[in-house]
Amino acid sequence: MTDITQVVADVGLTTTSPSKKDVIYGVTVAEGDVVYLNTTTSKYELALATSVTASVVAGIALTPGLVDEKGVIATGGDMECGGPTVEGEIYVCSGTAGKIAPVADLAASDYTSIIGYGKAGTNVLQIAIKNTGLLHA
């Protein structure tokens, strides 16, 4: 997959700040990582398109953290995702843990979890999470 190449220092809020949520991480997380809620531990871990459970995207990390540390994730709105986006391109949970990929890069064995779409302006992602629970065709 061709994931968005992110620069951690470039991840952050835009002037139309996204919706945010305070969480507890269950693994080491960097800014810009895509996370899901592990319902067994009630902690947020790296999302992964190859797993029906881990592909249920909850948001994108705005703060880094280690296991059992508090963090903040973006769950909606616009954000600087830390890497180049293309206006109108749909972005999904990647087959690489915690990463964002264009929808065209999903494999047939990957679950389709839409994270959002590229907006006008370098690195701007409109978060519009839709977890389909369906394998990519």
| CATH, residue 33 | 2.40.300
Rounded to two decimals, what is the model's pTM?
Answer: 0.92
Is 1 part of a structural domain of the chain?
Answer: no
- Domain assignment present for residue 48? The answer is yes
| 98 lies in some domain | yes
Q: How many residues in total does the chain contain?
A: 137
- Give the contacts of 128 (CB within 8 A, at least 6 positions apart): 76, 114, 115, 116, 117
The total number of structural domains that make up the chain: 1
Taking only the tens place, the pLDDT of each residue in 4-46 is: 887 777 787 666 667 999 999 999 999 999 999 999 999 999 9
Q: Of 117, 128, 6, 108, which Cα lies nearest the Cα of 50? A: 108
2 in a domain, yes or no? no
Domain of residue 33, residue span:
8-135
Each residue of 82-137: pLDDT tens digit? 888 999 999 999 999 999 999 999 999 999 999 999 998 778 899 999 999 999 98
Tell me, yes or no, whether 47 lies in a domain: yes
Instruction: Categorize the per-residue pLDDT at 62 as very low, low, confident or very high, splitting at 50, 70 and 90.
Output: very high
